Chains A and B, each alone.
Chain A
Amino acid sequence: MTTRIVELRRGILKKNDELAAALRERYRRAGVLVLNLVSSPGTGKTAFLELTLRRLTQAGARAAALVGDLETDNDARRLAASGAPVRQINTHGICHLDAEMIAKHLDEWACVENGVKLDGLDYLFIENVGNLVCPSSYDLGEKIRVALLSVTEGEDKPLKYPTLFNSADAAAITKIDIAEPCGFDRELALHNINEIRPGIRVFETSAKTGAGVDEWLAYLGERKAAISC
């Protein structure tokens, strides 16, 4: 027997990365701004997204959402109340969304009655499965990855889950209306986020009071304008 070393030097998630690159090109050609929302379960992604969709729709923007959960279409039904088209992705046990799931659902969505086509959209939001670990490894072709953190979770969440926060393009602190009773140390939370992802844009929001949402929507508008140039 002869021993031989064969160099591969290939990404383990090469297949996902290739599918994500194809999605990114589709989004670019359609001129749609795609965001991937990631957080722990219970941070308030759905409430945050519901308000975002409602406000965008009211302002005449064409926004839609894909929402990932292990089971149930509860979130899709909640989000649909915003008036925006929403499609549920059930992963049946898988702890993250991947590019293949997104491509499959986008293709199916374009074919159904009252379906959604990418070139008919300004914004597409992908609400990932509630998980701060695994979604960080899976590129969905998004332009902006948003990491969300609620005031009830502890200021050190970014330090405990550095990969997700480091891979984010923007961060949102949610439930800011209950920061005080929760003893939330705002300065410390902002410091920790900045230590892990220096210079990241952070929005302090409340889906209940609407705090911080104008600033968030202005940011979305700027980013959308930037890709449309």
Chain B
Amino acid sequence: MHELSIVESVVDAVTETAAKYPGATVKSVKLRVGVLASVVKESLEFCWELATVGTPLAGAALVVNSVPIVVHCAACGHDSEIEGVQSLRCPNCGELAADLRQGRELEIESIEIDEPEEQQVSGLASPRVCPERPTPVNSSQETK
């Protein structure tokens, strides 16, 4: 239901970042969405088309990567991925595991842009990869 507001926040953030690369075209926007984020992929994609019309992001693809739940089990000490969202039980020992380590993500991972060649030559281009904040420790657990 709130996917349109979420997509509008993405459009604002990406437009702001893309403005740092004059002349560049945004080809795609990659999101990480936890299965516990209460956000529906198809609904995001539908809203994306509506929200980008008439903006510099028109025509850019939206890539939504789902992030599964990972819990830390206090009983056996394992961090485990959980299938589905119906029970937070440790798959290793069967105990309930309240310590959620992953699965609520709702973030913009990266954008792919095409830059004009001359800008590269002029030396105005920014570094090849420009993280805006540190990569979360658990980001490697993402499934595509």
Q: Which residues of A contact B (CB under 8 A)?
A: 1-15, 94-96, 131, 133-134, 136-137, 159, 162-164, 166-167, 194-199
B98 touches A133 (CB 8 A): no
CA of A199 to CA of B73, assembled, Å: 13
Q: Which chain B positions have C-beta within 8 A of A134?
A: 1-2, 38
Q: Give the residue of A4, A11, A14, A136 whose beta carbon is less than 8 angstroms from that of B113.
A: A4
Q: Give the residue of B13, B27, B100, B136 whose beta carbon is less than 8 angstroms from that of A12.
A: B13
A166 touches B100 (CB 8 A): yes
CA of A11 to CA of B133, assembled, Å: 10
Across the A-B interface, how many residue pairs have beta carbons closer than 8 Å? 134
Task: Please tell me if B109 contacts chain A, counting CB pairs below 8 Å.
Answer: yes
Q: How would you classify the secondary structure of chain A's contact residues: helix, strand, loop or mixed?
A: mixed
Q: Give the residue of B17, B27, B97, B116 whose beta carbon is less than 8 angstroms from that of A8.
A: B17
Q: Which chain B positions have C-beta within 8 A of A9?
A: 107-110, 131-136, 139
Given A3-B27, A15-B9, A10 contacting B133 (CB threshold 8 A): yes
B111 touches A8 (CB 8 A): yes
Interface positions of B from 84 to 129, Cβ below 8 Å from A: 85-89, 96-98, 100, 104, 106-117, 120, 125, 128-129
B106 touches A133 (CB 8 A): no
Given A1-B114, A14-B13, A137-B38, A8 contacting B108 (CB threshold 8 A): yes
Q: Give the residue of A12, A13, A133, A195 whose beta carbon is less than 8 angstroms from that of B86.
A: A195
